Amino acid sequence: MGRVLLADDHELVRETIAAYLTQNGAHEVQSVGTFDDAMVALDGASFDLVMLDYRMPGMEALEGLKTVADRYPDTPLALISGAAGPDIALHAIDQGAAGFLPKTLAPAELIDAVNTLIAGGSVLPDEAVSKMSYRLTPREVEVVRAIAAGKSNKEIARDLGVQEVTVKLHVKTLSRKLEARNRTHAAMRARDLGLV
């Protein structure tokens, strides 16, 4: 199937995942125990997927992930963790990861996730996805703040230097993301969620 680089400082976890991916997923797995060893492996070979443990020597949390993403932009990356929550998952995606794999995944789910990532897809836990729906683009934040300040679509369009139809589109997207009934409700929801 694919060549996987697995970097995790817990030997038992590393060997268990590697063995499972090799035997049940027909993947070729190279496993290492530190971030530095992962970089050496990446410099020496090409991989279809890189799986990095969130907490391992040299990783520096998401800095290591960003380093790999910047240096190997065409290689799918997944962050694996036993403890990190949905916020870390979202930050990992922001830093270039294609997936976030909790170590609590059932073996069959792990195989599915790895196959999805190798095929160019993305994998995120459900709780991270539900948080993600509230993530607004910088322009959407500008629009919802203007709505909260009592401005009309026409005024917002003038202030932002865009067409009024563009503002209406932003309002529609905002309302969907915030599960709001209308623009006023969107502003209230954004305020309640601490987005404005």
In tens, the pLDDT along 37-63 reads 999 999 999 999 999 999 898 988 789
User: Does any domain span residue 152?
Assistant: yes
Range of the domain at 20: 3-125
Q: How many domains does the chain have?
A: 2
Q: Which of 125, 160, 180 is the last residue of a domain?
A: 125
Task: Find out whether 34 and 125 touch, Cβ atoms under 8 Å.
Answer: no
Is residue 129 pLDDT above 60, yes or no?
no
Helices (H), ranges, 161-194 = 164-177, 183-192
Domain boundary among 82, 100, 125: 125
Per-residue model confidence (pLDDT) at position 130: 61
**Whole-angstrom distance, CA of residue 100 vs CA of residue 87:** 11
28 and 93, same structural domain? yes
Q: In what order do the strands lie in the sheet with 3-7?
A: 28-32, 3-7, 49-53, 77-81, 99-102
Q: pLDDT tens across 8-42, in order?
A: 999 999 999 999 999 987 899 999 999 999 999 99
CB of 16 closer than 8 Å to CB of 80: no
Residue 150 — left, alpha, or beta (φ > 0 → left; ψ -120 to 50 → alpha)? left
- 175: CATH: 1.10.10.10
Handedness of CA 132, 137, 142, 147 (dihedral sign): negative
59 domain-assigned: yes
Same domain membership, residue 18 and residue 108: yes
The arithmetic mean of pLDDT across residues 81-110, rounded, is: 83
Residues 121, 152 share a domain: no
Does residue 112 belong to any structural domain of this protein? yes
The pLDDT confidence band at residue 88, using thresholds 50, 70 and 90, is confident
84 and 162: one domain? no
Report, as an integer, the average pLDDT of 124-150. Answer: 78
Share the mean pLDDT of the chain. Answer: 88
Question: For residue 143, which phi and psi values (nearest 5 degrees)?
Answer: -65, -45
Q: What is the pTM of this model?
A: 0.67
Assess if residue 132 is contained within a domain: no
- Same domain? For 73 and 118 the reply is yes
Percent pLDDT > 70 in the chain is: 93
What pLDDT sits at residue 134? Answer: 64
Co-location of 78 and 148 in the same domain? no
Question: Taking 70 as the threshold, does the pLDDT of residue 87 lie above it?
Answer: yes
In a domain, 44, yes or no: yes
Residues 53 and 143 in one domain: no
